Amino acid sequence: MFKMNRPFTALAVSLGLLAFLPTAPAADRYTVSANGQEVKDNKTQLVWRRCPEGMSWSVNTCAGSASYLTHQAALQQATSEAAGTGVAWRLPNVKELASIVDRSRSYPAIDTLTFPATPSSAFWSSSPDVGYADGAWSVDFSDGGVDYGGRGSSFAVRLVRASQ
């Protein structure tokens, strides 16, 4: 394992090289369920649907096409999934959604071994934009940026729940 001393780390940060330093392997961060459909984030203790809504787990990847929904439809999708499965799925808040961004990657800015076939697009959060009555926060997995969108816009959806 590569270890850095403090002066090297400070120099790397000051030179903007932090993105090129090794990161912890995904195996330390995430635990994939036995059936491959869920991922537990060992850092936040949240459990994520491995595939975005509209896609399904099939032969070691997410198959199909992600659904792009308005904010209201995304909230309804989460409610419907929770009712249909008996599992407390919900739309993540913006902080939770941003926690799975991998800033060492782009297009998509997420660990693609853990979350395969993730579209490089915006995903809805449940967090409203208090400064914009018709807005809600989203995370763009092309570059990991956090932004807001009008609730009538159509973005992808990834559901989350608390671990049990």
Ordered structural domains, the chain, with CATH: 28-162 (3.10.100)
Confirm if 95 and 126 have CB atoms less than 8 A apart.
no
37-50 in b/e burial notation, b at 16+ Cβ within 10 A? ebbbbeebebbbbb
Name the maximum alpha-carbon separation found in the chain: 54
DSSP string, 66-135: ---B-HHHHHHHHHHHHHHHSS--BPPPHHHHHTT--TT--SS-S-TTTSTT--SSEEEEEEE-TTSTTE
- Please give the backbone phi and psi of residue 146, each rounded to the nearest 5 degrees, phi first: -105, 130
Query: Can you give the pLDDT at residue 5?
Result: 32
List the one residue out of 136, 55, 73, 139 whose CA is nearest residue 101: 139
Query: Can you give the pLDDT at residue 45?
Result: 97
Q: Which tokens sit at 139? A: 């995370």
Q: Tell me the pLDDT of the chain (164 aa) as tens digits.
A: 323 332 323 333 333 433 333 344 456 899 999 999 999 999 999 999 999 999 999 989 999 999 999 999 999 999 999 999 999 999 999 999 999 999 999 999 999 999 999 999 999 999 999 888 899 999 999 999 999 999 999 999 999 999 97
Hey, how many other C-beta atoms are within 10 angstroms of the C-beta on 112? 14
d(CA 39, CA 56): 14
At residue 12, the 3 state secondary structure works out as helix
Residue 157 is given by DSSP the state: -
Query: Can you give the pLDDT at residue 10?
Result: 33
pTM of this structure: 0.82
Query: Can you give the pLDDT at residue 164?
Result: 75
Q: Which tokens sit at 125? A: 């959060």
Side-chain half-sphere exposure of 61, counting CA atoms within 13 A: 9
Query: Can you give the pLDDT at residue 113?
Result: 96
